[in-house]
Amino acid sequence: MKKKSIVNLIRYYSEKNDNAFKNVAFDIARDFNNSGDQEIAEYIMSLLSDANSFSPQSNDKEDLYFKKLEINSNPLPLPKIIADDILGIVNAIDKKMGVNKFLFKGKPGTGKTETAKQIGRILNREVYEVNFDSLIDYKLGETSKRISKMFEEIYDVKNPSKTIFLFDELDAIAINRINSNDLREMGRATSSFIRGLDRINNDTVIIATTNLFDDFDKAIVRRFDSVIDFDRYTQSDLLSISETILDEYLSKDSNLSKNSRLFKKIASLMNPIPAPGELRNIIKTSVAFSNPKNSYDYFARLFANVTNNKIIGIEDYEKFGFSLREIEILTGKSKSSLSRDLRGKK
């Protein structure tokens, strides 16, 4: 038995990392079996089996290299040009023609990861994200070995038609290869990854994402059947998406009121309108932080966020083209009070 296995066993136990603990225990059992101690190996396996543990031969890939992602039914607003490509992916997977490896490129927050999860929901497949932290190691040859072992686990899945494997931000390999002092080491890791992709069977779906496509290894890119560009949002797309996101959060609180015209005016002040990920954060915090006794308070918070609190006086609202009613919502002041203030200014 390897000393490293004992150390890892204790470490994972102390960290309460059950999946990693069980995987090391299985490795120890295999070592005993290979050395001829079948009785001890079977005893360890029976203990783990009684504990309903992860088995490398099971369809549950929740272990050191994989994390099962939660999939929700929240709307995923995409522009038609990207949505059409995603529909094409769904069709390709359903046809089982061997078109099963896809690369999503685009800036952070453009919906790459969430789209992969929603493809899983549509196809009734579980999505497992690859844990790069457990793969990359600066010991000579270790990263390459771990990548090979990770792919072996993918090959061993009993029912690949029920899973999707997500390599989120595959840049982790490319960035390390570019910046590493030992280019040969990362070159070996890249070669292991390429060999792993080449052996994927037609029923196994692989989706990878990258924020740095221009620096991406071209030999890896060629292994993917299709590259989907997520940097194709127009400002009109983002304005429409922002309202869809708002509706999602308003539906969770019946005390909140909506004014589409005012919302679009505020959203249009963002130049440029940010990607959906940042949009969601802006809208979510504005709604979450709003005063529950004021159904329109989130508008004031949203406006302050968009303008970086640069409003000085009442006349500034007029410069943005807001009506008296809209200024009333944004400031919380009555129309009569606002009228007096505006007359005084003039």
DSSP labels for 74-113? ------HHHHHHHHHHHHHHHHTSS--EEEEE--TTSSHH
Our count of domains for the chain comes to: 3
Q: Which H or E run contains 272?
A: none
The pLDDT, as a whole number, for residue 216 is: 82
Shared-domain flag, residues 44 and 116: no
Shared-domain flag, residues 171 and 103: yes
d(CA 73, CA 122): 10
- Picking from 201, 229, 257, the residue at the C-terminal end of a domain is 229
Shared-domain flag, residues 86 and 196: yes
Asked if residue 330 is part of any domain, the answer here is: yes
Asked if residue 173 is part of any domain, the answer here is: yes
Shared-domain flag, residues 327 and 207: no
**CATH number, domain with residue 104:** 3.40.50.300
Shared-domain flag, residues 86 and 206: yes
Q: Which domain holds residue 74?
A: 66-229
Asked if residue 140 is part of any domain, the answer here is: yes
The pLDDT, as a whole number, for residue 85 is: 96
Region for residue 12 given its phi and psi (left: phi exceeds 0; alpha: psi -120 to 50; beta: otherwise): alpha
The pLDDT, as a whole number, for residue 320 is: 85
Could you tell me which of 170, 162, 159, 65 has the C-alpha nearest to residue 120? 162
Angle at 102 between CA 226 and CA 178, to 5 degrees: 95
Shared-domain flag, residues 160 and 289: no
Q: Strand 126-130 relative to strand 66-68: parallel, antiparallel, unpaired?
A: antiparallel
pTM listed for this prediction: 0.75
Amino acid letter, residue 328: E
d(CA 326, CA 319): 13
Shared-domain flag, residues 295 and 335: yes
The pLDDT, as a whole number, for residue 297 is: 94
Shared-domain flag, residues 309 and 175: no
Distances 316 to 234, 300, 322, 325, 339 between C-alpha atoms, Å: 28, 14, 9, 15, 14
Asked if residue 282 is part of any domain, the answer here is: yes
Asked if residue 196 is part of any domain, the answer here is: yes
Tens-binned pLDDT, residue by residue, of the chain (346 aa) = 577 788 778 877 777 676 677 777 877 877 777 777 777 776 776 666 544 333 334 445 555 788 889 888 777 889 999 999 999 999 999 998 899 999 999 999 999 999 999 999 999 999 999 988 788 776 657 888 889 999 999 998 888 889 999 999 888 776 554 555 555 556 777 888 899 999 999 899 999 999 988 888 788 899 999 999 999 999 999 999 999 999 999 998 889 999 999 999 999 999 899 999 999 999 999 999 999 999 999 999 999 998 887 766 777 788 888 988 999 998 888 888 887 776 665 5
Residue 287 and residue 299 in contact, taking contact as beta carbons nearer than 8 Å: no
Shared-domain flag, residues 74 and 163: yes
Shared-domain flag, residues 195 and 282: no
User: Tokens representing 154?
Assistant: 């993918």
Asked if residue 57 is part of any domain, the answer here is: no
The pLDDT, as a whole number, for residue 58 is: 44
Shared-domain flag, residues 94 and 242: no
The pLDDT, as a whole number, for residue 45 is: 67
The pLDDT, as a whole number, for residue 226 is: 96
The pLDDT, as a whole number, for residue 63 is: 59
Asked if residue 56 is part of any domain, the answer here is: no
The H-assigned helical ranges of the chain are 3-14, 18-34, 38-50, 80-95, 112-123, 142-155, 171-179, 183-198, 218-221, 235-250, 260-268, 276-288, 297-307, 314-319, 324-331, 335-345
Q: Which residues share a beta bridge with 166?
A: 129, 207
